Structure 1
Amino acid sequence: MSDAPGSDVLVDQRGDATWITLNRPDRRNAYDPVMAEAVVEALEGSTRSRAVVITGVPGSFCAGGALTGLAEPDVTAMRGLYRGSLRMFDAIRTHPRPVIAAVNGPAAGGGNELVIACDLAVAAESATFGQTGPRVGSAPVTGATNVLGVQIGEKRAKEMAFLCRRYSAAQALELGLVNRVVPDDQLVAAVDELVEEISRLSPRYLEIAKVSSNVWWNAARDSFTTGLGMLVQAIGSPDMAEGAQAFLDKRRPQFPPPDA
C-alpha cells in the first residue's frame, strides 16, 4: 500500500488498476468527512489507471456514514458528513474510468449507496447489502431512493430503502445490484479478471460510454441535494436521536408516533 498503515484510506497500484481500500475496521469502514475527502483525492489521483477498485479492509466493505455522536449531533459536522457523502459519490460517477466495487463484507447504509454509485460490482459470497436510514433516524437520499430504482426496479428499491432489510450477495445478484458473486477467496482474482478485460478496451470510448450512462444519475442529482437539505433540517430531531442511540445501544428503536 502507498499510504501509512494508520491511514483511513489506503491506495495501491495493482497492475492497470488503482485499488482504494477503506481502512477503519474499528467502525466497520464507516466514513466521516475526512475519510470521504481522502477517497475523493484518491479518485482524482487515479485517472491514468485503466480502472479503479474500491474495497474495504477485511471484515466489512463499508457501514456508511459514521454514526458516532448522532444522539447529540453537531449541525456543522452533520452538514460536512452529508456533503462529504455526495462529493464522494459524485467523484465516482464523474471519474473517467470504470469504478468497481469489490464488496468483501457488509455494505450498509451509505456503504450500500457506495455500491450503487460504482459502475460495476463484484461481491464475495459472504457480503451483505441493505439500507439502514429509517431504522437509525435517517434516510438514504443519495442513491437508494432514486437511482437504485433504475438499477433494480422501483418496488424493490423502495423495499430496500424503506424496510431496511439485509440482503445476501446471492439476492443482490438476483436483484441486479451486483454483476457477479464469487467465493470469498476468489474476490481479488475475479476483480483482477474484470480489470484485465477493461484494459483491453479503449479508455477514450469507455469514458464516453460512462459519461453517457450517467443520464439517470444526473437526472436524480437535484433530488440528492433536496434530500440532503431535508436531512439537515431534521438534525437533532427526536427520531434522529432515538435511532442513533438505539443503534449504539444495539436495541430496537422506539420512535415517537407520526404527527397528525
Structure 2
Amino acid sequence: MEFQDIIYEVENHTATITINRPEVYNAFRYRTVVELIEALYDAGYDKDIGSIVLTGAGEKAFCTGGDQKNHDGQYQGGNRGTVGMPVEQLHAAIRDMPKPVIAKVRGYAIGGGNVLATLCDLTLAADTAIFGQVGPKMGSVDPGYGTALLARCVGEKKAREIWYLCRRYSAQEACDMGLVNKVVPAAELDAEVRRWCDEINEKSPTAIALAKTSFNADSENIKGIGGLAFQALRLYYGTEESKEGVTALNEKRKPDFRKHVK
C-alpha cells in the first residue's frame, strides 16, 4: 500500500509509524486509519522487527482523534468500520501485534489520540505533552478500550473524571496517574524512546510476544464489549444530540446538547 497519511520507517529493528497530518494536529481520517492498520501488520509480522513506535509529525500533536471536518453523523470516506472508519480494527491491531507498541507523545494526545496512547503497550511523553478527552464535549465517546482499558490503567475514579469532565492533563499528571511510563524533556524524547526500543529488541521475541498475549488475555473481554457498544455508537452518531457537537464547533459556539434530548 502506498502511504499518504503516515510515514513508515525501520531502523535498528524498530519500526516507526508517524501520523503525518500536522496541519490538522494529526487528526485521523478514514485513509489514515487504514494506513495505520496496514503499517502495524507489516511491522508486527516482520521477524526482523522487535518493537514498534507510534507517533505524530511535528511538535504540536501526537494525535487529536477523528478529523471533525470529516464527521457528520458518520465519518466519511470508506466502507470499513462500524462508525465509518475502522477504528475498532485499529485498536485490535495495536493489541494483537506480537511486538510492543510504544506511543511517543509530543504535544496533544486528545480524544482518539488519548485512546491510542492508552492502548499502546508503553507510553513515553515529552514534558510538553497534554492528555485528555473531548468525547462528551463533541457528542462522541469511545465505548471500548478508551473507557474500560483506561480504567485499568489509571483507576476507575480517575477514568470517570477524564471522560465526564473532559479536562486536560499535563504529561507529569498523566505519568502520576499511570497513563504514561516516563516523562522527559522534549529535546530528549527521541533518544529516550530509542533506548527503550533497544532494550526491548535485545530480549527474546517469543518471550515478549507471550508476555503481551498474557497481558491482553486479562482484559480481552473489552473487545467484545466494544464491539457491541460501537453498534450503539453508530446509532448515536445519527442523532441530533451527537451532531450538535460538530455543529457548535463549526458555528464557533458552545454546544447545547440538552435541547435535543427527548
- Normalising by the residue count of structure 1, what TM-score does the alignment of the two structures yield? 0.92
Residue 246 in 1 paired to residue 242 in 2? no
Residue of structure 2 equivalent to 1:43: 40
Q: 1:222 deviation in Å?
A: 1.4
Residue 16 in 1 paired to residue 13 in 2? yes
Residue of structure 1 equivalent to 2:225: 223
Query: Aligned AA for 1:12?
Result: E
The alignment covers a number of residue pairs equal to 257
Query: Aligned AA for 1:51?
Result: S
Residue 33 in 1 paired to residue 30 in 2? yes
Q: 1:73 deviation in Å?
A: 4.5
Q: 1:104 deviation in Å?
A: 1.1
Partners of 2:233 and 2:215 lie apart in 1 by 28
Percent of matched pairs sharing the same residue: 36
Q: 1:216 deviation in Å?
A: 3.8
Give the conservation status (yes or no) of the 8 Å contact 1:173–1:181: yes
Q: 1:251 deviation in Å?
A: 3.1
Partners of 2:70 and 2:38 lie apart in 1 by 26
Per-residue CA distance 1:184-238 (angstroms, 9 max, x = gap):
1111000000011101211110000000000243111111112111111112312
Query: Aligned AA for 1:54?
Result: L
Partners of 2:252 and 2:175 lie apart in 1 by 29
Partners of 2:130 and 2:154 lie apart in 1 by 16
Partners of 2:250 and 2:82 lie apart in 1 by 18
- Normalising by the residue count of structure 2, what TM-score does the alignment of the two structures yield? 0.91
RMSD of aligned residue pairs (Cα, Å): 2.2
Of residues 140-149 and 109-118 in structure 1, the stretch that sits farther from structure 2 once superposed is: 140-149
Give the conservation status (yes or no) of the 8 Å contact 2:82–2:231: no
1:199-218 mapped onto 2 (5 Å cutoff):
199-218=201-220
Partners of 1:16 and 1:249 lie apart in 2 by 47
Per-residue CA distance 1:130-176 (angstroms, 9 max, x = gap):
11111001112132221111111001011111211111101000010
Structure 1 gap ranges (5+): none
**Which stretches of structure 1, 4 residues or longer, exceed 6 Å deviation after superposition?**
none
Q: 1:20 to 1:242 in 2, by over 3 A?
A: same
1:1-260 mapped onto 2 (5 Å cutoff):
7-46=4-43, 47=45, 48=47, 49-58=49-58, 59-71=60-72, 73=74, 80=81, 82=83, 83-257=85-259, 259=261
Query: Aligned AA for 1:233?
Result: L
Q: 1:26 deviation in Å?
A: 1.9
Q: 1:259 deviation in Å?
A: 4.5
Give the conservation status (yes or no) of the 8 Å contact 1:50–1:198: yes
Per-residue CA distance 1:82-136 (angstroms, 9 max, x = gap):
4511111110100011000001110111110001110000001111111111100
Partners of 2:142 and 2:91 lie apart in 1 by 13
SS in 1 for 2:164: helix
Partners of 1:202 and 1:60 lie apart in 2 by 33
Structure 2 gap ranges (5+): none
Partners of 2:148 and 2:132 lie apart in 1 by 15
